[in-house]
Structure 1
């Protein structure tokens, strides 16, 4: 594959500044000045019809007057003129445009009209746009400063993406004071065309970028956003700040879940799933970047603290509790070892207080012991400037000790001038250093979060093995009948039928039209029973006295039924029909009341919540949120975040609840909301779990007609496409399976490429390649099934290697075509495997709505060219390149 389609924004050879000016208080002046002062080495062309020269450069009246080809145009003219200039860009064949100008979609019809006009023109000419209303783009290493930011930006290896130009300049100013540099800075502005997802995709493969910082206010396309985040976070740390944490967005009010789950905790769940770390301040943004840059893995987040002062150690311990960092419990062997090297009055616990007269050797020996302890995942070393302490020498010893170990070591040299020399030493080492212990503990928490989220990133839920498959069609038919009646809220009986269709155990519910019917149902079910009001008008039955429990006879049923009817009619005389249901009274001395809920977030789609249940659920405020699809690992992590995690364990005289039964219910709810886009809200409250199992005692569902045309388009995360798995038999009788690739195929994929001949590797990668790099393995096996696809051909035949071939495609930025690659093991060629892979890829791409299937093939790759001719591809030469041909298949003719 050639350069990324966004590369001209970041590595242009020629730039035009449209709206360049001589007025020093204008944006056009600052843009041109920044480009000159950055030392841009390519062609720089100011465009302004009122000037013949600007800042010593020849000025041009318009783009068409520039005699050279242009890679990038930066526009800073009034909004009304921008569509015409974008049209000039199209005529000039300039396909990369940054629009600095404001005045688009700012709560006025004219702004919306102008934006739509320029987008229509851009689409017609194949132009991509950053902005409008943005600060611009900066790439210090390429001497590009196409922004109106004040001052220069240091070259570095961090990328910054910001939705706000003002926040972007604030971050740049703060970074300058800390001597921090950047590889790329992108102000997204209105993101009318190019959004976060596409820029993240570019940065994921940018060799100059080792970490990505983001400031986010809102998301337009959740799936593309998460897709870009995942692509980047698989290869390098991504740290994010999001504004508007306390806005609950489109929160529903009819359900318990809607009252608990808002936009921000759904956003948290989304970025955790994408392997990203979220922070809450600009300083934390860089603290996280500093500590994540060394690629440490911290699974259990157990921190040991070494300090020469008790107060900072206690403060650090308090902060660890606040941010969820565990204080490591030192082993008996470590205590014994520390006793040998520390004074008798040391703390004999973690924090390891080595006392105010601590020498450099004492620090070194304490660090060595802590790093060797299997109970310790990382060490924070705190130094306060005391008379006996040499901050610089201690720093040297800490740096040497950290280099010898594999665990993260953080340093907090607290003070001013006396500790500065030590800080300077840390700045050129792998030890992340901080001015205060609390910020160091925060940084360790970011490291722990990153490790946890990276595990979540690699999870791809597969279909759970079930004794009986869910009745998806039956559940959908029930919902469609309810919606056909003009209702959105299902009755409890209907909601439980939906749950039962997905094999979730339910307490049966039967509707009774009269007291007589209720008596008959009670005798049929067996006593005791429960009477419940079941009407869409009343969200929470207990709030209107609509639940009567422990009814032991037909006489009590009749009396309670009549009383409930009368109470409703008295409070709500306009109600025409009163719905009352009868169900068995579920009794369990060891049962725990829990809640599972689903809401439809306006940005990220369905979100599942879990926590303590019952009538006090809003007061308890116990919940964890996750985006479907889920697997057992994700469900376990979800449960662990709640107070309910302890509640379901053994305590006092109660046996532990059946944890596996709870996990199974959560997995089935995940499948339910994945398969039924009609579901808007779902409450299972209470879900009672005891040592025998789990049962949904009450349920409520709100639904709407679904307009989705493709499966799972209502979800931000595309499930593993297990339905695409196919079984074949080769001409020699070998049974093979062609299925989508999975992250756990990494070792198999690396071995497959290793076994390829040099010739096959060259045909596939068009360059000499011996082994897949770790980054390539990640990119090849951890894919986004929505915008790309990879199929592996595998066999269980012990006489053959497991993987026989692999084919993949990646969606092009036009959203209408894909680029493909296929390779088959040398000893398995001429068996039809390549053709099977190609047909599977083409059909999948067509089903995704793609129109063209294309790729580049070496002219000497005769076997591939022969195969694609048989598959109906057209073969086109590439001007100026005799070694490679372009091949295209029109999928409309498939």
Structure 2
């Protein structure tokens, strides 16, 4: 891959500072002084209209007059001069500009100058970072283009912050803790370069082993999520969010009123495989623990202590933080009974009595670490008569090296145990002055593990279901409403859309007058329900527009008249289509649920689930997830709610049909994936019991949207199920072609192992025998938006066998990509390359790629013929036995071809 397009910003070789000055207190002076003092190895050029020399270096009056090349320009001057500066930079060939000055609440004229400068920058292909106050640092390279006055240590953590003030506070806190950084980026207003692009760069940065983010708001959610998920697959990412209660989720439905923007952000981060924390202290603590490769497989904690008081307090903290105290296995309890004094606590917390020796500590901790019911152990040492804190600490350090489970060490006290703390620090063990801090970190590790599992979920719009929805029918209903100038579908129309996606609904029929209603009631069978049918009324009960349990014709006539009268009095201007007639559903063991869809300004559609009925807003019982969802994600949603606890057998009630309930949530996910026009939806109540699930009431709000690429309205790209298809090789072998999934890791590893040494070397430029874990993750956990891998497989008696794989990865600029093709040695010569590459090009065309650059072995004559036939320019390089294939317009150069 070519260097990242942000390299001129983050790793410049030649830097000009416009506004560089010797004037004390000026931004230009602070930044230029930092660049001079930072041991930056590149060339520095001060640009100043009034001084010929700045800091002992000859100054220029304009960027375009600088003789040598300039990668990056730091602008510290007034906003009104920015368009001219950017134009000079464009003519000079500059690719990166840092606006390192606080422009504050710019006036209209200044804002116009700023917008003009951005427009000029786009014309010349210049990327702009800022405007912001602090600037940009690369401590690992001695590069400090900021006005931060204190020294920043070099390290392996990258800090990216949306607030310069908060960034300064974080740097000060980190300095007091001896934490260093590979990069420090103050994003500021993010007029051009934003989080997603910065994350892209940091993912490929070898100096960065962990990423810390402070986020206030997100502009491009798809890019942000894509980059965040890519980063989280290879490096720990910890996020702190400000502005949690600035609610961006607005709407008319109950499901929207129940959701805050912070909830949506939490759901997005959990799907991205990153960890969200609440404070700056937690941010750095979590980053250090994750970077030290501490991992947990769950949230079950064992506490071992030689003081029952601190142990009980720690258990209370665990309860408060939602950490589960592990239930020790019988074998563990038996071992502890044999090894500990008879008056030990006989449970968790494990109190091994105040005079515990180092060996007794080791025995108890080792037993807990070996327990299959334990995910981590907190060791609390209290200095008492007969104890040896240092020897105990030495044994714990050795024990941590033997175990894959994390240990959290809390030696209470100060001067008496200082030697032990120094030992823990040198051994890089997780140690804490107070047990509650350790429990908090363990909780964060458990959350991180959970989110990493969520990251692996790449569901299709509807996964594993064979019933095809009637998408055209649903779109017809929505289109009719939009053409009539309506955004609110009636209950009857909403249920038509739900039914088109195979969601069970209570049949609703419109009656224009009372006689028609009587006829429908006779057809349906009493008792029935009457509801006002009006596109202008969302909640019918608010206007008295509902009558339940109508048992005869006389009651129906009275109810019909009453509904019409009350509705016209409450809302005289409402359009009334008539009254809908439905069967009165009485289910003895029913639970009333709600499934909703709301729309977040940043992350798009959000699915909500929780308790339904009339108390939906009072109970505030809901869980949410970004679509698409699968069975695993649906189960997590249900488990998070209080109503979910009583869906199984409860007192005298049988459990509900949970599989059908999950199916409804999956169908709702499919609906919002396929219908970007759906902005809000309430299914309330959704009645569930042992015999099934049925939507008794529903409303949908729609909006005209501009369709771009598939699923462009979603923050997370679904698994592209539509790319799965069958084909046949020249010899008649039936094969399947499908996008690679995380579950294919074992199959991918076997495929690589079975390649010949020559094939592996030609593909990976190495004599590897198999893929490393990092490479395996990279090749199987795909984004499907900026990267694609198609596997060709066929069924054998032993299961699915991979014959070949073709993949492309776009450059971060999303304008070009590289591709590769691998074919199993014993399957070569069967036309696999033609079939698979055609499918890959189809996928690339779908994403609108315009330029493709790739390399394959020159010895593959079939590929040469294929590329030539597809209109590529082929350049062979004999020295490295590779060829480069280039096209200026993929959409035109790649006609659709028959895979045979």
Residue 367 (structure 1) shift = 0.8
Give yes or no for the alignment of 1:313 onto 2:311: yes
Distance 1:274 1:20, change over 3 A: same
Give yes or no for the alignment of 1:373 onto 2:361: no
Residue 297 (structure 1) shift = 4.1
Contact 2:628–2:670 at 8 Å: present in 1 too?
yes
- 1:151 match: 150
Scaled by the length of structure 1, the TM-score of the pair is 0.95
Distance in 2 separating the partners of 1:365 and 1:556: 77
Contact 2:528–2:548 at 8 Å: present in 1 too?
yes
Q: What does 1:630-641 align with in structure 2 at a 5 Å threshold?
A: 630-641=629-640
Match of 1:383 among 378, 381, 392: 381
Residue 360 (structure 1) shift = 2.7
Unpaired stretches in structure 2, ≥5 consecutive residues: 895-900
Distance in 1 separating the partners of 2:676 and 2:191: 28
Contact 2:534–2:575 at 8 Å: present in 1 too?
no
Aligned residues between the structures: 891
Distance 1:672 1:189, change over 3 A: same
Distance in 2 separating the partners of 1:881 and 1:244: 57
SS of structure 2 residue aligned to 1:657: coil
Shifted more, 390-399 versus 764-773: the winner is: 764-773
Residue 192 (structure 1) shift = 1.9
Distance in 1 separating the partners of 2:54 and 2:384: 59
Scaled by the length of structure 2, the TM-score of the pair is 0.94
- 1:660 match: 659
Match of 1:264 among 256, 262, 273: 262
SS of structure 2 residue aligned to 1:432: coil
Contact 1:250–1:263 at 8 Å: present in 2 too?
yes
Shifted more, 203-212 versus 619-628: the winner is: 203-212
Contact 1:816–1:849 at 8 Å: present in 2 too?
no
Distance in 2 separating the partners of 1:190 and 1:770: 48
Distance 1:83 1:877, change over 3 A: farther
SS of structure 2 residue aligned to 1:219: coil
**Aligned Cα root-mean-square deviation (Å):** 2.4
Residue 526 (structure 1) shift = 0.7
- 1:326 match: 324
Residue 22 (structure 1) shift = 1.0
- 1:833 match: 832
- 2:872 match: 873
Residue 107 (structure 1) shift = 5.9
Distance in 1 separating the partners of 2:879 and 2:147: 40
Residue 16 (structure 1) shift = 2.4
SS of structure 2 residue aligned to 1:434: coil
- 2:35 match: 35
Q: What does 1:737-776 align with in structure 2 at a 5 Å threshold?
A: 737-766=736-765, 769-776=768-775
Contact 1:132–1:190 at 8 Å: present in 2 too?
yes
Distance in 2 separating the partners of 1:566 and 1:860: 83
- 1:87 match: 87
Listed one character per residue, the Cα deviations across residues 109-156 of structure 1 (whole Å, up to 9, x for unaligned) are 334423332222222222222222252222222222222212111122
Residue 484 (structure 1) shift = 1.7
- 1:412 match: 410
Distance 1:844 1:688, change over 3 A: same
Residue 214 (structure 1) shift = 0.5
Distance in 1 separating the partners of 2:392 and 2:415: 16
Contact 1:763–1:861 at 8 Å: present in 2 too?
no
Shifted more, 367-376 versus 836-845: the winner is: 836-845
Distance 1:190 1:886, change over 3 A: farther
Distance 1:888 1:502, change over 3 A: same
Q: What does 1:269-668 align with in structure 2 at a 5 Å threshold?
A: 269-462=267-460, 463-466=462-465, 468-575=467-574, 577=576, 579-668=578-667
Residue 834 (structure 1) shift = 1.7
- 1:25 match: 25
- 2:898 match: none
SS of structure 1 residue aligned to 2:431: strand
SS of structure 1 residue aligned to 2:736: strand
- 1:805 match: 804
- 2:162 match: 163
Residue 550 (structure 1) shift = 1.8
SS of structure 1 residue aligned to 2:240: strand
Unpaired stretches in structure 1, ≥5 consecutive residues: none
Distance in 2 separating the partners of 1:579 and 1:388: 86
Distance in 2 separating the partners of 1:579 and 1:420: 80
Distance 1:374 1:766, change over 3 A: closer
Give yes or no for the alignment of 1:221 onto 2:238: no
Q: What does 1:186-265 align with in structure 2 at a 5 Å threshold?
A: 186-252=185-251, 254-265=252-263
- 1:851 match: 850
Distance in 2 separating the partners of 1:400 and 1:782: 35
Distance in 2 separating the partners of 1:193 and 1:33: 27
Contact 2:136–2:184 at 8 Å: present in 1 too?
yes
Shifted more, 55-64 versus 78-87: the winner is: 55-64
Shifted more, 370-379 versus 119-128: the winner is: 119-128
Listed one character per residue, the Cα deviations across residues 629-680 of structure 1 (whole Å, up to 9, x for unaligned) are 1100110011111111212011111111111111000000000111111111
Distance in 2 separating the partners of 1:862 and 1:127: 41
Distance in 2 separating the partners of 1:44 and 1:413: 51
Residue 381 (structure 1) shift = 1.4
Listed one character per residue, the Cα deviations across residues 728-761 of structure 1 (whole Å, up to 9, x for unaligned) are 2121222222221111122222232333334433
Listed one character per residue, the Cα deviations across residues 804-860 of structure 1 (whole Å, up to 9, x for unaligned) are 222222223443333322232333333322222222222322232222222246777
Give yes or no for the alignment of 1:734 onto 2:721: no
Distance 1:730 1:691, change over 3 A: same
Residue 566 (structure 1) shift = 2.4
Distance in 2 separating the partners of 1:57 and 1:418: 56
Shifted more, 776-785 versus 704-713: the winner is: 704-713
Residue 35 (structure 1) shift = 2.1
Distance 1:217 1:352, change over 3 A: same
Contact 2:137–2:184 at 8 Å: present in 1 too?
yes
Distance in 2 separating the partners of 1:467 and 1:767: 43
Contact 2:209–2:236 at 8 Å: present in 1 too?
yes
Residue 227 (structure 1) shift = 0.3
Distance in 2 separating the partners of 1:2 and 1:761: 22
Distance in 2 separating the partners of 1:188 and 1:418: 45
Distance 1:148 1:348, change over 3 A: same
Shifted more, 444-453 versus 55-64: the winner is: 55-64
